Structure 1
């Protein structure tokens, strides 16, 4: 999908996070596809990587690799995170929303950069 600059600028950070959530989860799912396992095992591994706490941790790992424009997207995503109670700590939830906004932005603007950024994530390690 190709969006014009005007269309892209009109998207809210939460809209970027909405699409970024799907992009990130699909990426994580694809990382755990091999070796073949039972669906329960896939699910357990993926859930450990898509939790807000883990996403917040991964955003911190990515920060040294982000451009100023990407940092701005994460700032907007963090500030737009809903303030209502979640299962995660509010700070973790804000950081997770920031990561998802970044994933959505890169998916819509630069797929090669998205792949590069995702390559920095240590997804084969156990979640803390």
Structure 2
């Protein structure tokens, strides 16, 4: 399966990436805040909102963070034709968010666990830099 990860539809990769990012963020927020579920939920939405993911996308692209293969998946994810409408955000923000999630899903299906963990940790780091004090 690892060598076939690039064959998956980018929206399928994003579907998996969304779940992985959500789990990573929920775990991070629980460990950081040790609070009640409602507080945890509000905190996690800061990290996983389409707006936050789009800002992370822009920062990582500006830093040339992605490998050539990852960048290809990123662009396929951004350009994918979704049949669902973006909720509470504009189309470009939604596409950037989808692209970031596609790379996460791609890394998981490629078996690149270390690179996946590094990306998830980098996403948290970038979000925390933007977090209101």
Same fold (TM over 0.5): yes
Task: Structure 1: state its 5+ residue gaps.
Answer: none
How far is the alpha carbon of 1:78 from its aligned partner? 0.5
Give the equivalent residue in structure 2 for 1:44. Answer: 42
How far is the alpha carbon of 1:10 from its aligned partner? 3.1
**Would the aligned equivalents of 2:6 and 2:73 in 1 still touch at CA under 8 Å?**
no
Greater helix share, structure number: 2
Q: Distance in 2 between matches of 1:94 and 1:81?
A: 9
Task: Structure 2: state its 5+ residue gaps.
Answer: none
Question: Residues 55 and 4 from structure 1, CA distance in 2 versus in 1: closer, same or farther, beyond 3 angstroms?
Answer: closer
How far is the alpha carbon of 1:93 from its aligned partner? 0.2
**Would the aligned equivalents of 1:81 and 1:97 in 2 still touch at CA under 8 Å?**
no
Secondary structure of 1:120's counterpart equals helix
Q: Distance in 2 between matches of 1:92 and 1:107?
A: 23
RMSD: 1.7
Give the equivalent residue in structure 1 for 2:57. Answer: 59
**Would the aligned equivalents of 2:2 and 2:109 in 1 still touch at CA under 8 Å?**
no
Matched residue count: 124
Q: Distance in 2 between matches of 1:90 and 1:116?
A: 28
